[in-house]
């Protein structure tokens, strides 16, 4: 049977399908292209021009057309920053104005890892969107369990929970959201591998969820632009929560992450973006942490060094 949809509606549906699948997930975008090609097999000759347009739109979401002008620059000199701190890892910075990816160890930047506490960003967005907390000031009472980090042993809200990276608070948030709603939002955004197996309050800490540095930057780029499928209000609140430092002409938004699971090697994240002089640089640093806590500050130090080297932050 011939497909009788109007060309404009077909283009809109193709765009929506690719976007819903997550434009930063190559596997899912390929599925979107397959849908476009299935449309193409039922088209008559007089509508072949529309087919070409549909395939071009799909190609945009894979980076084969719209992102063709993006450049990758490997920074061999950044290796010295890692070696000097006795850690291994990757550093990735995307300069939006120059459409340039700056990277040390691209292969690792494209490899997926547990997001650890960087997932608090997504968790906070979903909490606000689903109404499990009304705003960043709604308090959840401390459960009375004494934990190693003193700042965790008190009541918290979304803002303080982000500032002090309070694991128990965001676990409570995830339980309120529930597996069904969490999975629905993970799928809608197209976050990482989309797998929340391993427990509703553990999947980003020791469960099945995985995300790469490239995907982290892609997700943050959409948050910075306000183009995630969450409300403008939710995205605005979370953007405010992520501010960690400011200067006269720049703002740094960022979140740490630390994968720590007994019997397994530790690793850490530092992800976020810098706004300076109407420009934006998004970044993700991910390092091995063989010395655990002693290595934790190195995530931030490396990030600030590479950001300064590309002009995102003032010279150190």
CB 210 within 8 A of CB 112: yes
d(CA 281, CA 180): 34
Q: How far apart are the first and last CA of the chain?
A: 65
Q: Which helix (H) or strand (E) holds 50?
A: helix 48-62
Point out the catalytic residue in the list 25, 117, 165, 212. Answer: 117
C-alpha distances (whole Å) from 205 to each of 112, 126, 210, 236, 293 are 14, 17, 10, 26, 17
Q: Which helix (H) or strand (E) holds 218?
A: helix 213-225
CB 235 within 8 A of CB 223: yes
Using alpha carbons, select from 111, 219, 234, 132 the residue that is nearest to residue 174: 132
Pair of tokens at residue 92: 């990735």
DSSP 57: H
Pair of tokens at residue 174: 């995830």
Q: Is 117 a catalytic residue?
A: yes
Dihedral (CA of 69, 21, 34, 214) sign = positive
Using alpha carbons, select from 177, 140, 147, 181 the residue that is nearest to residue 161: 140
Q: Which residues are designated catalytic?
A: 117
């Amino acid at each position: 049977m011939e497909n009788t949809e109007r060309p404009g509606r077909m283009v809109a549906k193709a765009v929506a399908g690719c976007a819903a699948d997550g434009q930063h997930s190559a596997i899912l975008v390929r599925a979107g292209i397959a849908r476009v090609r299935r449309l193409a097999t039922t088209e008559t000759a007089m509508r072949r021009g529309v087919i070409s347009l549909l395939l071009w739109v799909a190609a945009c979401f894979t980076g084969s057309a719209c992102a063709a002008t993006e450049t990758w620059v490997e920074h061999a000199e950044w290796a010295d920053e890692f070696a000097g701190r006795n850690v291994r890892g990757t550093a990735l910075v995307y300069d939006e104005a120059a459409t340039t990816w700056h990277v040390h160890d691209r292969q690792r930047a494209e490899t997926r890892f547990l997001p650890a506490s960087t997932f608090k960003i997504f968790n906070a967005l979903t909490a606000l969107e689903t109404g499990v907390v009304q705003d960043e000031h709604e308090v959840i009472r401390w459960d009375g369990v004494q934990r190693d980090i003193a700042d965790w042993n008190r009541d918290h809200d979304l803002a303080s929970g982000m500032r002090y990276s309070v694991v128990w608070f965001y676990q409570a948030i995830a339980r309120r959201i529930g597996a069904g709603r969490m999975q629905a939002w993970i799928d809608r955004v197209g976050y990482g591998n989309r797998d929340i197996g391993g427990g509703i309050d553990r999947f980003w800490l020791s469960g099945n969820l995985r995300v790469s540095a490239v995907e982290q930057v892609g997700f943050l780029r959409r948050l910075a632009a306000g183009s995630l499928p969450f409300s403008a209000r939710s995205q605005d609140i979370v953007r405010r929560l992520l501010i960690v430092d400011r200067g006269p002409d720049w703002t740094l938004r960022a979140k740490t992450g630390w994968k720590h699971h007994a019997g397994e090697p530790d690793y850490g994240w530092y992800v976020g973006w810098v706004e300076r002089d109407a420009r934006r640089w998004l970044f993700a640093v991910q390092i091995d942490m063989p010395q655990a806590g002693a290595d934790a500050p190195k995530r931030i130090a490396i990030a600030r060094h590479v950001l300064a080297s590309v002009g995102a932050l003032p010279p150190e």
